[in-house]
């Protein structure tokens, strides 16, 4: 976002937020005017109605004695400008002058801290020497000065005061991008817009924690989020636990952050992993709330917030799927959503960044038992179903299904899908590549394969159906779990019916063969309007007159016929 | 380019794009103070990826002058 856009949005947000102002006063011995818009914007975006005022140039002590009715004071106090041009004058000072300078600043620090002792939050930057000292090979007076004064800050800071390590922000961004020396020499404006953006993102948790806006609950998807792999497909032995993430989550939990799960999975499978998987760090007792089912995540996150009796804006959600991430971001803008990075080594860093959102200045004993408390509470509450319409979202995805009929080049992937797919698989018949080739080349079977595309790109060949002309039967029907939750299965059934019609089949039979893992499709044929013919423990047989198939057509999913 | 300049001015001075014309200057726009002058400069530099020197900054006191200076900067690139 460009700076002028921030200014515009900041002014729009100002009009949209109500409630009392959160007043921030920025005192400095350099010019920091651009910090106003960016500080306000970073807080207003979190629904904190911030109003920033800037003190007079190089009047930190005087300003500190005058501030009234402020919620937070932020101090930019630059070593190089204690005295105009100190960075080039300091080595010409006599030792006495140097010591006097140290004493003078110490006294000023005392005065400032004392003047601000009743302000709820005081933020002061650690004295930094990076900008003008970056080329020095050895310690010099500037770095000695900063060292002495930083120690003094740490020892004299009152409880309301937090010391901000500004060097971390400068390092992340680079010194060159953090400053603009043109403006330093012309108007004592040191820091760049880029710097302020990073800086206020970095310190934002301090402000948010004082207004009760720190995040409270960390909710994870399971597959490819808490562990690598798909539990339902790979089994408990086939998953690789993300231990770094789980250790970090555990440490948050010990500080009073609620950990929860929101995952499309079989609850028993996940419970089994939580209880018995030897690599797991997070255990059942660390998880305060679980929504592990096949419902949509928007509803599940809503009910998590509801059950825990906290706002949606207290939730942080991690998921690996761009589909789920976009859905939640769109439907529940208050929830902070993060997508697991595709590169595994980036996951830990992202997680450490997110850590700050839970920042809380003090941890109490109650915090530590909070997790258990919430857990008890969520047990008491009954799950409520809500039926928020996610169709709008699905429409926006622009889903396209490409259907292939008897495509020989797909045989390897089709065989692989029949062998690997456990969850959305009606009959779970396993076929080899040569089986599939024989089906394709013979004349009794119709082998359908589908590729799914949406605005995020292709999902690849992710669905298979095998129809048997002689017996009018759906021999196999399966979908990779990658594409579930988008009503693709129902569109696929429409396709199957139309292909059956094309082949002059009057009736179509379907079969659900129960396995340990495919309970989610137990009622799939019922939902498609098939009539049940026979049902045993293991097996349900359905049929439908193809002309009677009248499920409402899903017109937001387009179908193309591939070759 | 003119659209970009107008959009930036509109954002910073909180005025309608349509109201910006050859007469637009600190005299006709109330919110065009020294603080917003700085915001304007920073935003123009960011938008056009240029660096303005002190003289150019001082000269940027009307919409036509801004256009002129940005144009000459972009020609030099």
Q: Which helix (H) or strand (E) holds A535?
A: strand A531-535
pLDDT, tens digit, 9 for 90 and up, residues A466-522: 999 999 999 999 998 778 878 899 999 999 999 999 999 999 999 999 987 788 899
Residues of chain A positioned with their CB less than 8 A from the CB of B53 = 182
A563 has a pLDDT exceeding 80: no
All residues of chain B having their beta carbon less than 8 Å from the beta carbon of residue A8 are 10-12, 14
The answer to whether residue B11 neighbours chain A at the CB level (below 8 Å) is yes
Which one-letter DSSP state was computed for residue A553? P
Are β-strands A558-561 and A72-76 bridged in parallel, bridged antiparallel, or unpaired?
unpaired
CB-based contact (8 Å) between B38 and chain A? Answer: yes
Q: Do B11 and A8 touch (CB under 8 A)?
A: yes
Mean pLDDT of chain A: 89
Give the CB-side neighbour count of residue A222, counting CA atoms within 13 A: 29
CB contacts < 8 Å between A and B, how many?
38
Q: From the CA of B72, how many Å to the nearest CA of chain A?
A: 20
The angle subtended at Cα A110 by Cα A105 and Cα A112, nearest 5°, is 90
Backbone angles phi, psi at A300, to 5 degrees: -65, -40
**What is the Cα–Cα distance from A365 to A249, expressed in whole angstroms?**
18
- Partner-chain residue, chosen from B10, B43, B53, that has the shortest CB–CB distance to A2: B43
Confidence of residue A139 (pLDDT cuts 50, 70, 90): confident
A3: three-class secondary structure by DSSP: helix
Look-up of token digits 């207290």: A314
DSSP letter at B26 equals: T
The answer to whether residue A427 neighbours chain B at the CB level (below 8 Å) is no
Mean pLDDT of A354-362: 82
Residue A110 CA to residue A102 CA, distance in Å, equals 12
Q: What is the pLDDT at residue A417?
A: 87
Q: pLDDT category, B75, cuts 50, 70, 90?
A: confident
Are the C-beta atoms of A9 and A43 separated by less than 8 Å?
Answer: no
Residue for token pair 């915090």:
A367
B54 in A contact zone (CB under 8 Å):
yes
Q: Is A350 helix (H, G, I), strand (E, B) or coil?
A: helix
Confirm or reject CATH 3.30.420.40 for domain A217-388, answering yes or no.
no
Q: How far is B5 from chain A (nearest CA, A)?
A: 10
Mean pLDDT of A161-180: 95
- Token pair, residue B14, equals 């909180």
Confidence check: pLDDT of B71 > 60 = yes
At A99 the pLDDT is 95
Closest by Cα among A221, A383, A384 to A297: A221
A454 — pLDDT class (breaks 50, 70, 90): confident
**Interchain CB distance below 8 Å, A4 and B54:** no
pLDDT of the residue at B68: 92
Q: Where are the alpha helices (DSSP H) in A224-364?
A: 231-234, 243-254, 267-276, 297-308, 322-331, 344-355
The predicted-structure confidence for A55-107, as pLDDT tens digits, reads as follows 988 999 999 999 988 999 999 999 999 998 898 999 999 999 999 999 999 99
Q: What is the pLDDT of residue A369?
A: 57
Q: Tell whether the model's pLDDT for residue A3 goes beyond 70.
A: yes
How crowded is the C-beta side of A63, counted as CA atoms within 13 Å? 20
For residue B47, give the nearest of A2, A7, A8 by CB distance: A2
Q: Would you call B12 an interface residue with chain A, using a CB distance cutoff of 8 Å? A: yes
CA distance A25 to chain B (A): 17
d(CA B74, CA B49): 9
Name, of A120-129, A177-186, A204-213, A550-559, the range with top average pLDDT: A120-129
> How far, in Å, CA of A71 to CA of A252, rounded?
27
Tokens, residue A124: 């002061």
Candidates 3.40.50.1400, 3.40.630.30, 2.10.50.10, 1.10.630.10; CATH matching A393-561: 3.40.630.30
Tell me if B14 and A193 make a contact (CB, 8 A cut-off): no
% pLDDT > 70, chain A = 95
Query: Given this chain, do its domains A3-210 and A217-388 carry the same CATH topology?
Result: yes
- State the Cα angle at A519 between A436 and A415, rounded to 5°: 15
pLDDT at A378: 55
Q: Which residue has the tokens 């304007």?
A: B40
Residue A241: φ, ψ to 5°: -70, 135
Cβ distance of A34 and B38 shorter than 8 Å = yes
Residue A297 burial by Cβ neighbours in a 10 Å radius (0-12, 13-18, 19+): buried
Q: How many CB atoms lie within 10 A of CB A527?
A: 12
pLDDT tens-digit map of A281-322 = 999 999 999 999 999 999 999 999 988 878 898 999 999 999
Q: Is the pLDDT of residue A552 over 90?
A: no
Mean pLDDT confidence for A184-203 = 92
pTM of the model: 0.70
**Quick one: average pLDDT of A531-550?**
91
Contact A193 B51 (CB under 8 A): no
Chain B interface test: which of A1, A5, A7 (most B C-beta within 10 Å) = A7
CB contact under 8 A, A7 and B12: yes
Domain spans of chain A, in order of start: 3-210, 217-388, 393-561
- How far are the Cα atoms of A28, A467, A469, A477, A479 from residue A531, in angstroms, in the given order? 76, 18, 19, 17, 22
pLDDT above 50: residue B77:
yes
A4 vs B contacts (CB less than 8 Å): 7-8, 11-12, 39, 43, 46-47
Chain B nearest CA to A7, separation (Å):
6
Q: What is the pLDDT of residue A377?
A: 53
Average predicted confidence (pLDDT) for chain B:
89
| Lowest-pLDDT choice from A210-214, A241-245, A386-390, A401-405 | A386-390
pLDDT for A265 equals 94
CB of A40 within 8 Å of a chain B CB? The answer is: no
Alpha carbons A247 and A226: distance in angstroms, whole number: 11
Per residue in A364-402, pLDDT tens?
A: 555 555 565 566 555 544 333 333 467 777 888 889 999
Compute the distance between CA of residue A328 and CA of residue A321 in angstroms, rounded to an integer: 11
Question: Across the interface, which of A4, A33, A193 has its CB nearest the CB of B12?
Answer: A4
Range A3-210 classified under CATH 3.30.980.20: no
Q: CA-nearest residue of chain A to B48?
A: A2
Query: Do A71 and A51 meet the contact criterion of CB atoms below 8 Å apart?
Result: no
Running DSSP on this structure, what letter comes out for residue A552? P
The DSSP secondary structure of A37-62, one letter per residue, reads HHHHHHHHTTT--EEEEEEEET-HHH
Nearest to B42 among A8, A11, A34 (CB): A34
């Amino acid at each position: 976002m460009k700076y002028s856009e921030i200014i515009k949005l900041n002014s729009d947000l100002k009009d949209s937020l109500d409630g009392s102002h959160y007043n921030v006063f920025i005192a400095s011995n350099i010019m920091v005017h651009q910090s106003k818009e960016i500080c306000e914007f970073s807080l207003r975006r979190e629904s904190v109605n911030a109003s920033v005022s800037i003190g007079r140039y190089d009047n930190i002590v005087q300003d500190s004695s005058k501030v009234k009715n402020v919620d937070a004071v932020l101090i930019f106090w630059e070593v190089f400008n204690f005295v105009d041009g100190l960075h080039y004058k300091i080595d010409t000072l006599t030792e006495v002058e140097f010591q006097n300078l140290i004493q003078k600043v110490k006294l000023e620090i005392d005065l400032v801290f004392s003047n601000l002792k009743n302000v709820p939050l005081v933020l002061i930057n650690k004295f930094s020497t990076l900008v003008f000292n970056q080329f020095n090979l050895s310690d010099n007076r500037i770095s000695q000065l900063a060292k002495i004064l930083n120690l003094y800050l740490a020892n004299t800071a009152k409880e309301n005061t937090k010391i901000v390590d500004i060097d971390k922000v400068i390092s992340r961004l680079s010194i060159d991008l953090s400053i603009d020396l043109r403006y330093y020499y012309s108007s004592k404006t040191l820091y760049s817009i880029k710097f302020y953006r990073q800086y206020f993102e970095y310190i934002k948790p301090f402000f948010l924690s004082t207004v009760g806006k720190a995040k409270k609950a960390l909710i994870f998807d399971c597959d490819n989020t808490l562990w690598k792999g798909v539990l339902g497909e790979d089994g408990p032995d086939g998953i690789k636990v993300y231990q770094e993430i789980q250790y970090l989550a555990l440490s948050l939990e010990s500080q009073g952050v609620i950990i929860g799960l929101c995952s499309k999975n079989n609850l028993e499978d996940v419970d089994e992993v939580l209880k018995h998987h030897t690599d797991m760090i997070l255990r059942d007792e660390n998880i305060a709330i679980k929504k592990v089912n096949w419902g949509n995540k928007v509803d599940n996150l809503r009910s998590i917030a509801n059950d825990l009796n906290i706002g949606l804006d207290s939730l942080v959600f991690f998921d690996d799927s761009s589909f789920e991430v976009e859905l939640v971001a769109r439907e529940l803008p208050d929830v902070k959503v993060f997508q697991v990075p595709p590169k595994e080594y980036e996951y830990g860093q992202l997680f450490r960044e997110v850590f700050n959102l839970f920042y809380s200045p003090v941890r109490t004993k109650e915090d530590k038992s909070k997790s258990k408390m919430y857990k008890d509470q969520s047990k008491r509450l009954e799950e409520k179903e809500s039926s928020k319409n996610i169709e709008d979202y699905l429409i926006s995805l622009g889903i396209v299904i490409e259907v292939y009929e008897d495509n020989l080049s797909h045989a390897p992937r089709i065989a692989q899908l029949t062998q690997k797919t456990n969850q959305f698989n009606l009959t779970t018949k396993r076929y080899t590549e040569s089986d599939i080739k024989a089906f394709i080349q013979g004349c009794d079977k119709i082998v359908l394969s589908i590729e799914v595309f949406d605005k995020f790109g292709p999902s690849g060949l992710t669905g298979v159906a095998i129809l048997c002309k002689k017996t009018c039967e759906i021999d196999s029907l399966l979908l990779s779990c990658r594409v579930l939750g988008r009503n693709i299965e129902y569109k696929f059934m429409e396709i199957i019916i139309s292909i059956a019609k094309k082949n002059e089949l009057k009736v179509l039979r379907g079969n659900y063969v129960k396995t340990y893992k495919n309970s989610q499709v137990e009622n799939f044929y019922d939902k498609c309007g098939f009539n049940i013919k026979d049902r045993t423990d293991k097996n349900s047989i359905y049929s439908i007159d193809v002309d009677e198939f009248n499920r409402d057509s899903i017109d937001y999913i387009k179908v193309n016929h591939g070759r | 380019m003119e659209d970009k300049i107008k959009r930036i001015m509109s954002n910073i001075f909180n005025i309608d794009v349509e109201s910006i014309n050859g007469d637009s200057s600190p005299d006709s726009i109330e919110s065009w103070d020294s603080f917003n002058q700085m915001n304007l400069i920073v935003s123009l530099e960011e938008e056009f990826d240029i660096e303005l020197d002190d003289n150019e900054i001082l000269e940027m006191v009307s919409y036509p002058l801004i256009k002129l200076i940005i144009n000459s900067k972009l020609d030099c690139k």
